[in-house]
A and B are shown apart, each in its own frame.
Chain A
């Protein structure tokens, strides 16, 4: 005896099928995305010989943490240098992020709230720098840094990173400010607040998710940057991580486990940053500013 499904039940079953397909797709996508990280971690637990085996060992027969120990042991050359690179990257990325946000916040606010001649042109001109590949600016910026006496200093990197970090920050933040109703500021002004007070007490708190999202973008951009750091810095005590981990490549060989351990450790701050600030990031993408 066959039972006929009602139209609603059939619809629900169909929807359920789509839901499962969607879930399977997401799991596959997750696997595809995370697999390189997992393989990187597994390789970092191998000896140099085990890393070179074929077929590959999906899990090392003799796992070792030596590759990590080498990186964090300050008594060894590798550890000493790696910790220095790590600190340099933290320093440069953090300072770049702070400066980008400090400059971008008022600039974006001005683009959002003020009407002035050439506003639209200027707003698009800000992005002009990001329309060209980094290598186009390499020689001009190097000559500029040389003239400023900044070659082989972190100052050269911070200034350079601001050239591509700032436009993005301004554009992102302007979008957030546009979503904050101007009436909120007007209400504060009626209550006696100055424009600065209205900005700092009303707009800034509401745009916190946006500022954090912008900071993350800015930080990651600086953290991962290679070509300028490679060009402007030659001293080991100045190098950032992306350049520093080149030491795992020799003329005729590569220390794969060491490289993987270094790369895995290099990814930790970014992952932690995302995990800690995830809720702000999501809010920045989804939340409206109007409070009821």
Chain B
């Protein structure tokens, strides 16, 4: 057992090292590097957790005095009913702590669901009724920066430095050389599978598929042996879940929407119809249309629709956050009677592993997360932005302690110092598999940092999948069609 774990760790470290080298090369030119990526591994993450104490109220008090009186309006996607209880607890604790640290700052907070936030923000900007501060998914900010809605914001404005954040994350808030926000949390996902399903299908229950070709083969085997979907393919149109799950496959095969996977991306070269992209699309087509080894409802599925069959033992594997484990544990804890035993068994059979590699050993994952931004006064409700109150809120939200606690189940702290906190140690101790998803960070590839990224990722990529999977177009035609559309909007046509 120990030997096996040791071998896996060694392999993992090697993979991380190679990816890290690539990422470091790509980013040190722009930002000071506070993270030793060459050491980044599950063991390293565990070793630094709980080694340093921070005091958000005191540290932020040095940026904005704690007795400052003012007001700030804020929109974000907070915890909702389907989220684990711990997310609600941490959210509530944050606001209590903030109001204790800044008793004279009034907050007007709106928690808006993930799928509504971008649309609602666009609408509010048109109506000059936007909030002063907003936290958006990593894909969202650059669109608004390019349109002139956001104020420049850099780490130093709120008492931090560039070295306190992941370089890739800072890239995601930088448009034409200007920083328009700060990363609040960063996330990378992993492969989650049901060990019992693997075992029943004659697969190794303790190891995930090593390559994406294995995913296709495993999915087929699970479907043939057990009559259930093997892999939780997600292909819903206009849904963020789709690119988050398909792009890692595309990148691993050597493809991409543009050249975002390159060490020095220019975002000018369209790669959505190169050989690697087509190979990834072909693999998805093989699973959906030929082997029929993924859910028939994949065309309208988000990750939410994968949860039910997975927890019922009717789905073999899927890409997921550590939140998935927390969610399943949460559901199991609330199950009663005869359901309880079944739920506990499902949780016991959950396993996490690194995402598969492409044929050339390339491993990739979307460098996801959220960023916090400040809106220009003319678009804000009331026409004013209380700069000091804004700074106090952002400083507090992005402090090592709260950046970690607010990302409790689904993510990692945006502020890298969060990895040193007691909260991080507690997370690692209580959230099984967090070390796996965290160790995927160096493999993270940010979506293209261009205003058209949401349209490319949320619309063109899912449409391409739909065209291929439904047989509306051949794989080649679907990829070429997508390339034409990407080229058009990169050249200034189309766009949201």
- Chain A positions within 8 Å of B, measured between CB atoms, are 47-54, 61-62, 64, 70, 78, 142-143, 145-146, 151-152, 230-232, 234-236, 246-256, 258-259
Contacts and interface: CB of A to CB of B under 8 A. Distances in A.
Contact of B309 (A54, A142, A234, A253): A54
Nearest to B77: A251
7 interchain residue pairs of minimum CB distance: A52-B308, A251-B114, A253-B82, A255-B82, A250-B82, A49-B335, A255-B81
17 contacts: A47-B331, A48-B330, A49-B334, A49-B335, A49-B339, A52-B331, A61-B338, A62-B337, A142-B127, A146-B127, A246-B113, A247-B80, A247-B113, A250-B114, A252-B241, A252-B304, A252-B320
Given A146-B127, A152-B129, A252-B303, A54 B339 contact: no
B110 A234 contact: yes
Given A54-B309, A254-B304, 10 more contacts: A47-B334, A48-B331, A54-B308, A62-B339, A142-B123, A248-B80, A249-B82, A249-B304, A254-B82, A255-B80
Contacts of B119: 230-231
B81 A248 contact: yes
Given A146-B128, A250-B114, A49 B82 contact: no
Contacts of A49: 311, 331-332, 334-335, 339, 342-343
Interface string B45-89: 000000000000000000000000000000101011111000000
Contacts of A78: 81
Interface in B308-355: 308-309, 311-312, 314, 320-321, 323-324, 327, 330-332, 334-339, 342-343
B126 A146 contact: yes
A47 B339 contact: yes
Contact of B321 (A145, A235, A252): A252
B72 to A, nearest CB: 16
Contacts of B127: 142, 145-146, 151-152
B27 interface: no
A256 B327 CA distance: 13
A64 B334 CA distance: 11
B339 A234 contact: no
The main secondary structure of chain B at its interface with chain A is helix
Given A47-B336, A249-B115, A258 B81 contact: yes
A49 B126 CA distance: 42
A252 B410 contact: yes
A250 to B, nearest CB: 4
B335 A50 contact: yes
A50 B79 CA distance: 22
Contacts of A50: 335, 339
Contacts of A259: 81
Given A49-B331, A234-B124, A252-B321, A62 B83 contact: no
Which among A53, A252, A258, A259 has the highest number of chain B CB atoms within 10 Å?
A252
Nearest to B122: A231
Given A49-B332, A249-B304, A250-B114, A54 B312 contact: yes
A191 to B, nearest CB: 56
Nearest to A147: B127
A53 B339 contact: yes
B120 interface: yes
A259 B120 CA distance: 21
B333 to A, nearest CB: 9
A246 B116 contact: yes
Contacts of A246: 113, 115-116
Contact of B110 (A48, A142, A236): A236
Contacts of B337: 61-62
Contact of A252 (B110, B323, B338): B323
Contact of A234 (B115, B120, B304): B120
A24 to B, nearest CB: 32
A95 B246 CA distance: 47
Contacts of A151: 127, 129
Given A50-B335, A62-B339, A234-B112, A250 B123 contact: no
